Amino acid sequence: MSVQRSAVDFTARPVPRLADRLPPRAARFSPRAANASLVIGDSPDPLTLERTARPFEAAESLLSSRALNYALAAGAMLYVAIAGLWNVMTGKGTFFVNPDNVHQAYPWYQELARAVHAGYLPLWDAGVLSGHLFVGEFQTGVFYLPNLAFALAFGSRAGLGVQALEWLVIAHFLVACAGMFWLARTLGFSAAAGAVTAILFAFSGAVAHRAQGQTCIFFGDALIPIAVCLALKYKSGGRWYLAVAAGLVIGSQILAGHFQPPAIALLLCAGVLLGRLTAAERLRSLTGLALLAVTAILLASPQLILGFQYLAHAYRWVGAPDPVLGTSKVPLETFLQGGVSPGLLVNFLNPRFEIPDGDALFLGAVPVLILFSACFEPRTRQRIARLVRDYPVLFLLGLFGLLMLLGSSTPLAGIVYFIPFASSAIRELGRYALLVQVVLVLAIGAAVDAVPAAPGSFLSAQSRPFLTATLVAGLGYAAYIALAFKNGDVEAILVLAACATLLFAGGNARVASLTILVAVEAALLLPSVYGSTSSPTYAPRAYENVALLGYAERCYPECRIMSLTDDVFPRNAGDVVPVQTILGDGATMSQPYFDLLSQNWDVHGFVDDVLNVRYAVSNAPLTGLPLVARDPATGNYLYARPSAFPRAFSYAALAGRSLRRNDVAFKTLAYADEDASYQVTVPRDETVVFSEQFYPGWSVSVDERAAPMLAARVGDSAPILRSVFLTRGTHRVRFRYTLF
């Protein structure tokens, strides 16, 4: 009996639904089933088929066990998590050495932990920027439940230890991995292919690199597969609560602190919900998208309401020389500059050509070889073609992301710029690498899923293109990696091992080997996304080794300190140690406050006087100010500012720009971010000004009775400082910040 082999013609019949198309899970990746799908004509003798297509029958029989496949998948994912992140787990590595995590995320977590252990949410932060709306800066993530949970569980009134923060990041790596595995399985991938997809999404590329750059974006990225999977399940079943659940995930991404991840997630959810639909299915998908969006907005409404209230009267730094108003678009030239030159796209092949801002396309050398060789294997092409036909919008989004990466090299970015909110949610074109990464890992997973069928004889005409391409690509790519990639010898060996696996192994033995090779490479590459705790920029070291801040701590909370250069002490030091500063580090700043500082940026200026700046730190000698101390370790100088106004002073002193006209005596009774009490004595009826920012939500009481909240101008500024009218005598003045 002869056996005739041919590629199956999928175009001659309608494409069935995903659930109907897939075989039972137990047999989905059986070598017998895989090869039988390639047979046309009389049914062959099973034993004959097995002997010709399965050279390693004993190994394949063992690996065909469903339980063993799940164990292999789970073991591969856990291996990457443990081996790749072991240095962080043991305290030798850290995600908190790069600027954004050191100067923003780390101090913001200290502020959050201290506040929740004091019994309140830190809506207002009195430590930096002379006081500002803490939740107005979206990236602080005040309402994100995992942040709150870790702050409560591991923090104290002293803050939150950096090791707890490392575990919070690690937890999100695991969430990203588990979520992508779930999505891959929902798409019909095998356990092994799901593990490959999950490893490549969570532990490599733009997702992993974001962990050491901006944790708020990384946390949102980690939730993307869960939102997409829930949307996919809604599409197949139409159950409304799945769309609501997807909306809750996207709302949580907003609460995590950045609009980029929810924007990407919403695009991908639309990608799986739309395309190849009947009229009834189209209506259901659009209903699901609307339900998803409404749910996300409702969950994130506390952050959205407070954040946009603040942004309407704030400046935002977007990479341009000057800030823009918080609700304004990014300048077109700045938006287009965020693209990637075509030459840098070689980062997909070699990580030495890294895309700026950590938006890496490199997923590993072994996945590149798998994807390349798959192009010459008919079964793999058919598997990927099925995904493209079932989810065309999803793969169009991958192409869209690639074109956006190229910036001004194509007209697409210029068109997208004029879509409302688009250029604000994702203002750096390099960050569209995430869309490309999602589509690439799905394609690689599909390739792994299609390789159980052995290529056959080396002399077979059907196998010759696959074998030749794999051999040439494997040898050439291994040589390229070894020569062009620092310490690339190990990478080259893994590529050669993958090449040998694709050429000589068959069935589930090949799948298992490729899964292991992908896991080993990912674990080897993962340490490149974090730093060492021995780094001088390690967050705890950056804040603990500033001896001169001790002078400002002694007068807390009745004076502020300023730094004349950025490298003297971290700008957000007021969120870590008990000092108050007039500057801060974030993406935004209140417009009235920015305009106030712009009036007179001078260590001898009147603006610094009314902001209660009693100390100034400089890395160079100053004239006209008394020297208080010098730090021999850093060479920095601390100067006193005798002209600084006290925390409370008379309006006459403000108007006359002189302390000699101040006749107010005050004492701080209690001081917290959102609740401060003073004892104030005035010799006559007059208005008393406090060196604290005025902002909607603040109220004042005098002797336990509500009083009108006034606002004082400084020079040409908008009304910016809190003030209250007092009658002659001694009074208790209390300021409180409340939402309602």
**Cα torsion 318, 322, 325, 329: sign:** negative
The Cα 249–Cα 255 span in angstroms is 10
Contact residues for 626 (Cβ-Cβ < 8 A; gap 6+)? 639, 640, 642
Cα distance between residue 346 and residue 361, in whole Å? 9
Is the predicted pLDDT of residue 335 greater than 90, yes or no? Answer: no
Q: Is 120 helix (H, G, I), strand (E, B) or coil?
A: coil
pLDDT interval class at 337 (50, 70, 90): confident
Cis? peptide before 557, omega within 30° of 0: yes
Q: Round to whole Å and give the CA distance between 337 and 328.
A: 18
**325: pLDDT strictly greater than 70:** yes
d(CA 89, CA 100): 21
Q: How far apart are CA 523 and CA 515, in angstroms?
A: 12
Q: Higher model confidence: residue 356 or residue 723?
A: 723
Nearest Cα to Cα of residue 50 among 66, 38, 32:
32
Q: Which residue has the tokens 């950045």?
A: 258
Lowest model confidence (mean pLDDT) among 80-94, 215-229, 412-426, 518-532: 412-426
Q: How far apart are CA 552 and CA 561, in angstroms?
A: 6
In angstroms, the Cα distances linking 212 to 88, 166, 254 are 12, 10, 19
Alpha-carbon torsion, ordered 225, 231, 232, 233, to 10 deg: 110
Element (H, E) at 561: strand 560-563
Q: What is the pLDDT of residues 473-490, one digit of tens each?
A: 889 999 988 888 777 888
Query: What is the percentage of the chain residues whose pLDDT exceeds 90?
Result: 57
Count the neighbouring beta carbons within 10 Å of the beta carbon of residue 534: 11
CA 307 to chain centre: 18
Report whether 723 contacts 689 (CB < 8 A). Answer: yes
d(CA 362, CA 370) in angstroms, rounded, equals: 14
For the segment 602-619, the average pLDDT, to the nearest whole number, is 92
> Is 50 exceeded by the pLDDT of residue 129?
yes
Average pLDDT, the chain: 85
Between 562 and 275, whose confidence is greater? 562
Give the pLDDT confidence of 400-425 residue by residue, as tens digits. 999 988 888 888 988 988 887 777 77
Query: Average pLDDT of 205-225?
Result: 94
pLDDT greater at residue 45 or residue 190: 190
Whether the pLDDT of residue 692 is over 90: the answer is yes
pTM passes above 0.85? yes
Rounded mean pLDDT of 252-277? 91
Q: Is 178 or 283 the better-scoring residue by pLDDT?
A: 178
What is the structure's pLDDT at 28?
40
Tell me which DSSP letter residue 581 carries.
Answer: B
Q: Which residue has the higher pLDDT, 18 or 195?
A: 195
Residue identified by tokens 């989905």 is: 28
Q: Would you say 260 and 289 are in contact if contact means Cβ atoms under 8 Å apart?
A: no
Which domains can be identified in the chain, with CATH numbers?
4-54 (no CATH), 161-529 (no CATH), 546-640 (no CATH), 648-737 (2.60.40)
Q: What is the pLDDT of residues 379-405, one digit of tens each?
A: 777 888 888 888 888 889 999 999 988
Instruction: Say which residue the tokens 């356990």 belong to.
Output: 191
Closest CA relative to residue 39, chosen from 49, 24, 52: 49
pLDDT of residue 457: 44
Q: What is the pLDDT of residue 462?
A: 63
